[in-house]
Amino acid sequence: MTHHTRVRQAVEDDVPELVRLRALLFETLGGDFFNPSSAGDDWRAALAVVLKEKLAADDARILVVDGDDGLAACGIGTIEQWFPGPHSRNGRVGHVIGVVTDPAYRRRGHSRAIMRSLLDWFRAGGAARVDLYASHGGEPLYRELGFFDHPDPALCWRP
């Protein structure tokens, strides 16, 4: 079904829908880490500001698929300049920052189409590696697209 999916770059008018879909992603992931009860709604306004900035940035790509009334799906990619090494020839590392599809539009190939477009962008941008954190539901798609277990453990710290 992916041949019917039209992926396009997001524009500023898409920002409210992008915020809605990102909120849906965090609700779906659940738990106190991704959706802490103390978060409130302040993060939505901060997200809108960053999305507007990143729409025009060379180091980010925000892709969407239109639905009947709003966005059906979105995906965000970034490329960061890290330090080169033998495992990363140019130090350019891509990150997939949350691909999410509205429940009414799932199982239609939208996430796959967004990911293929992001992977093309990562290749064109010279990313030596692309990292992502997969939900249990998304993991089979990512593995099918060639993603594999990262050799380093994923750890984090919050100040």
If pLDDT is split at 50, 70 and 90, which confidence band does 49 have? very high
Within a domain: residue 155? no
Within a domain: residue 85? yes
Within a domain: residue 150? no
Within a domain: residue 96? yes
Provide the CATH number for the domain around residue 124: 3.40.630.30
Task: Determine the pLDDT at residue 3.
Answer: 46
Task: Determine the pLDDT at residue 2.
Answer: 40
Within a domain: residue 149? no
Within a domain: residue 88? yes
Task: Determine the pLDDT at residue 156.
Answer: 83
User: What percent of the chain stands above pLDDT 90?
Assistant: 72
Within a domain: residue 78? yes
In the chain, the number of structural domains is 1
State the amino acid at position 51 in one-letter form: L
Kindly report, residue by residue over 100-128, the tens digit of the pLDDT.
999 999 999 999 999 999 999 999 999 99
Q: What is the pTM of this model?
A: 0.90
Rounded Cα distance, 42 and 40, in Å: 6
Range of the domain at 40: 2-144
Cα distances (angstroms) measured from residue 69 to each of 14, 50, 64, 66, 98: 12, 24, 13, 8, 21
